[in-house]
Structure 1
């Protein structure tokens, strides 16, 4: 379902089918990037970051978008605002495909 502002909601699906979090974005990739930044296991660089499969079900549909996601810590830029921490989490995703679920 598309909201009035054009954003869609995507539920993070666990392996057992439960949905723990909801991320919004204009595209599934945008929501996947938000989910990737919250991964528990982050690397020290993009190359060393472990890849994790992320499954996002688009609310109101039977589509599950599947991504490989990884995140890593970086130093904040020199001109960062005062409220920003000195280390920030960067993330990237790679789409693997779409599945359609059949809920009973």
Structure 2
């Protein structure tokens, strides 16, 4: 279901349970938001080697988008706002495919 602003809502599925909702124009945009919630590794290379599978179901459909996701911490940029800490969490994803639910 597409909202008025063009964004779609995706629900994170874990063991058949659905909890967190992420929105984005495309499934990858929502997956990147979800990836940033993963426990971060100390470097991107280490994080990618230990990627986690995440599943996002598009609300209003039976499509489940499957991604390998990873997150890591790195130093914040020099032009960061005052409220931001010294470390930020970055995330990345790689799409594996789409499944359709039989429910």
Pair in the same fold by TM > 0.5: yes
> What 5-or-longer segments of structure 2 have no aligned partner?
none
Question: Matched residues in 2 for 1:21 and 1:89: separation?
Answer: 18
Between the two proteins, the alignment pairs up a number of residues equal to 101
Indicate the residue corresponding to 2:72 in structure 1: 72
Q: C-alpha displacement at 1:32, in angstroms?
A: 0.2
SS of 1:48's equivalent in the other structure is helix
Give the TM-score normalised by the residue count of structure 2: 0.96
Give the unaligned 5+ runs of structure 1.
none
Determine the structure 2 residue equivalent to 1:2.
Answer: 2
Alignment partner of 1:42 out of 35, 40, 43 = 40
Q: Tell me what 1:57 maps to.
A: 57
- 1:29 is matched with which residue? 28
RMSD of equivalent CA atoms? 0.6
SS in 2 for 1:73: strand
- Normalized per residue, the structure richer in helix is 2
